[in-house]
Structure 1
Amino acid sequence: MFSNVKLKASMMASLGAIIGATTLALAIVLLYVDAPILLAVLIVVPFFLLQWLFAPKIVEKAYNVEEADPEKYRKYHEAVERMARQSGIEKPHVMIADMDLPNAFAYGNFRSGDKVAITTGLLKRLEWEEVEAVIGHEIGHLKNNDSTYMMVLSILPALFLVLGRMLFYSSLFNSRGESKPIIVLAIASMVFYVVLQLCIMYFSRLREYYADRHSANIVTNGDQKLASGLLKISNGIDNIKQRETSQRQRTRSPSPGMSGMMGGASPLALSMKPLLIADPDVSGGDVMNRLEINEYAEESLSLREKLAELFSTHPNVKKRIRALGL
């Protein structure tokens, strides 16, 4: 689906489009009203900076993460060290998340240092060679500074959300004639917020393809191993959903139980799904038992799958496998 050159070009084009559209939209707002953009910046930017600074601690609390014991998880440490060296980066901290949900993520900042984490559920469901491919994907995120890119880009739609609300409340205190254009701009700001969010999700999906490609490049037969690993992760998530749905039906519980936890992941943890290698809200179904990987990848996306991907930070698994060249 994507060559390296095409993928890089797509990322640069989408990044340029996001920044260009944001600049144009802000200029249009300033042209028509004396909008409090500086105030919006002073509200939004410090919030995101604080969130970025404290994010590692929040992530570790949400996912029950701790340092992976070097003796117990020796292969894990060795794999991370080897792939970090191949990627030209320092070895990140090696972490383990104690939860049944099969997944992996990379996170960190200048205070905490870079970190890679895999869940105990991932180790249970994947062969070690597939786990290595997943680790290669996460190392790719660290090499490409994806968390920093996404943090900075997330500020842009938030500016328009805050600006739209400010303009709306401002219109309430203006005369009828003056309030109409302000209300129009407030609505336009809110609409642009949604559009920007969708654009940033698209950019995030491109970063996932790029991290997949990195894994394929540094792991022997990484494309095949990552493809099967991604399918097992999707199947594992789907099985957990089915199991917990069945449990709720037996107990006649209207809620997911255990404070809304899925596979040991709390609502707070699930709200951080852009960190993960696979979106826990989008599963692939039990495909490993009915179709070979290549056949599954060639299936057309249903309308439901296309809509789910549009609002997801991760590409559909079928498209990720195709992009790996299988």
Structure 2
Amino acid sequence: MFLWGPSFFIEPLLTALVLALMVGLSPIINKVPKGERGLKLFMGLTLLAYVLLLYSGYSLIASTIGFNATLMGFALFVTAFAVIQWLIAPWLINIMYRTKPAEEVEPRLAEMVKALAAKAGFKKPPKALVADVNIPNAFAYGNFLTGKYVAVTRGMLNVATEEELEAVIGHELGHHRHGDVWLILALSLAPMLIYYLGRVLVDWGFFSGATSRDERNEGSALMFVGMALLAIGIALNFVLLQFNRLREYYADLHGAKVSGKRNMQRALARIHLAFESLKSDPALKEEVARFVDSPAKMLFIYAFAEPFYDIDDIVERLKAERTNPIVELFMSHPPIPKRLRFLDAI
């Protein structure tokens, strides 16, 4: 793959075409699921779309270039790279967010995680951590080497009430219970492989067809196959973002079951307000930007406040807010107003 090859210029055009299709489908894609049954139906349909796109990509590969040793080596390399990232990610997150065991710095959080994990049916509770970050948020992560973690930021501990904190922890426990950490990784491997293979074939086809007529014909064929795979890879990434948004609803559902849906709504509204307030604070501008652009943002409860307000009034106001369906296509989390409306339906 060449950094400045034709794939570099073709990719934005294909992205625009796929985006146009997704925008056309957004009234269907971006509907708020109606309760738990509606959510599970949406997740099933999204997985079906994922499988159909994946099948079309693999069928195209099988019927054109075939699954040869070079391709298998490429797939192995991409998979190994992703798995290594997953294995070392917990240590990197702990360093990046300066986490400390809750038993040492916030014993009440450690006890809360243990109690809620037992209530949710966990045989072994995740390790509770406090992230030394002023932004109110929480995240679930870990693997079989490090164990499971639930991290809550210092900012969250400062703004949330006891009941809201329970709802937030219930949300993160939901991610662990539903296996979201490894599931999203597994589903992201195929789009990554198809996307990069598409870019390689576009560039390879362009530069290999620069001499004889036969080579030009072969090169053109490879380019078209590469463009199709690139489009499929881009579409799969949009589908994966949609699936991740649905898993956030699913974790909200778990948080509501553990702590009550009103507490879950209040927690989401309070995080939203606190985050909006912090964005205007010059002293925290850099920290907020780091959170917004973090590679671990899919793990957070809020994808991106004052203490003197009625949180229930804010919940109702946020529920009435309209959201931008095009912006949502690029989000890893559903907008807060839609998450609040979903909780009303359970």
- Please indicate the TM-score interval, normalised by the length of the shorter structure: 0.7 to 0.9
Q: CA 1:287/1:319 → structure 2, altered by over 3 Å: closer, same or farther?
A: farther
1:262 is aligned to 2:287 = yes
Conservation of the 8 A alpha-carbon contact between 2:130 and 2:151: yes
Corresponding letter in the other structure for 1:236 = A
The residue aligned with 1:17 is 49
Conservation of the 8 A alpha-carbon contact between 1:240 and 1:262: no
Aligned mates of 1:65, 1:239 — CA distance in 2: 24
1:277 is aligned to 2:310 = no
Conservation of the 8 A alpha-carbon contact between 2:57 and 2:194: no
Consecutive unaligned residues in structure 1, runs of 5 or more? 249-255
Pairwise CA distance, 1:69: 2.7
The residue aligned with 1:84 is 117
1:232 is aligned to 2:270 = yes
Q: CA 1:243/1:32 → structure 2, altered by over 3 Å: closer, same or farther?
A: same
The residue aligned with 1:223 is 261
Pairwise CA distance, 1:184: 1.3
The residue aligned with 1:57 is 91
1:313 is aligned to 2:346 = no
Corresponding letter in the other structure for 1:231 = A
Pairwise CA distance, 1:193: 1.6
Instruction: Output aligned runs, 1:72-151, within 5 Å.
Output: 72-89=105-122, 90-151=124-185
Pairwise CA distance, 1:275: 0.6
Aligned mates of 2:182, 2:156 — CA distance in 1: 25
Aligned mates of 2:339, 2:322 — CA distance in 1: 13
Pairwise CA distance, 1:204: 0.5
Q: CA 1:287/1:41 → structure 2, altered by over 3 Å: closer, same or farther?
A: farther
For residues 216-259 of structure 1, the C-alpha deviation after alignment (integer angstroms, 9 at most, x for no partner) is 1111xx21111111112112222222123xx69xxxxxxx6xxx
Conservation of the 8 A alpha-carbon contact between 2:50 and 2:239: yes
For residues 176-229 of structure 1, the C-alpha deviation after alignment (integer angstroms, 9 at most, x for no partner) is 11111211121222222211111001000111001101111111xx21111111
1:3 is aligned to 2:35 = yes
The residue aligned with 2:10 is none
For residues 21-79 of structure 1, the C-alpha deviation after alignment (integer angstroms, 9 at most, x for no partner) is 20221112321334653233112110111011101001111111121135x42321221
Which runs of at least 4 in structure 1 moved beyond 4 Å after TM superposition?
286-291
Q: CA 1:64/1:140 → structure 2, altered by over 3 Å: closer, same or farther?
A: same
Conservation of the 8 A alpha-carbon contact between 1:62 and 1:269: no
Consecutive unaligned residues in structure 2, runs of 5 or more? 1-32, 210-214
Corresponding letter in the other structure for 1:272 = A
The residue aligned with 1:253 is none
Give the secondary structure class of the aligned counterpart of 1:102: coil
Conservation of the 8 A alpha-carbon contact between 1:63 and 1:269: no
1:37 is aligned to 2:71 = yes
The residue aligned with 2:5 is none
Give the secondary structure class of the aligned counterpart of 1:5: helix
Q: How many residues align?
A: 302
The residue aligned with 1:251 is none
Conservation of the 8 A alpha-carbon contact between 2:53 and 2:232: no
The residue aligned with 1:47 is 81
1:160 is aligned to 2:194 = yes
Pairwise CA distance, 1:290: 11
Aligned mates of 2:338, 2:309 — CA distance in 1: 15
Q: CA 1:88/1:298 → structure 2, altered by over 3 Å: closer, same or farther?
A: same
- Which of the residues 205, 208, 212 maps onto 1:173? 208
1:299 is aligned to 2:305 = no
Conservation of the 8 A alpha-carbon contact between 2:291 and 2:297: no
Corresponding letter in the other structure for 1:6 = G
Aligned mates of 2:54, 2:195 — CA distance in 1: 12
Corresponding letter in the other structure for 2:325 = K
Aligned mates of 2:139, 2:61 — CA distance in 1: 38
Corresponding letter in the other structure for 2:250 = Y
Corresponding letter in the other structure for 1:32 = T
Determine which structure has the larger helix proportion and give its number: 2
Aligned mates of 1:111, 1:32 — CA distance in 2: 40
RMSD (CA atoms): 2.4
Corresponding letter in the other structure for 1:65 = T
Percentage identity across paired residues of the two chains: 30
- TM-score, normalised to structure 2, is 0.81
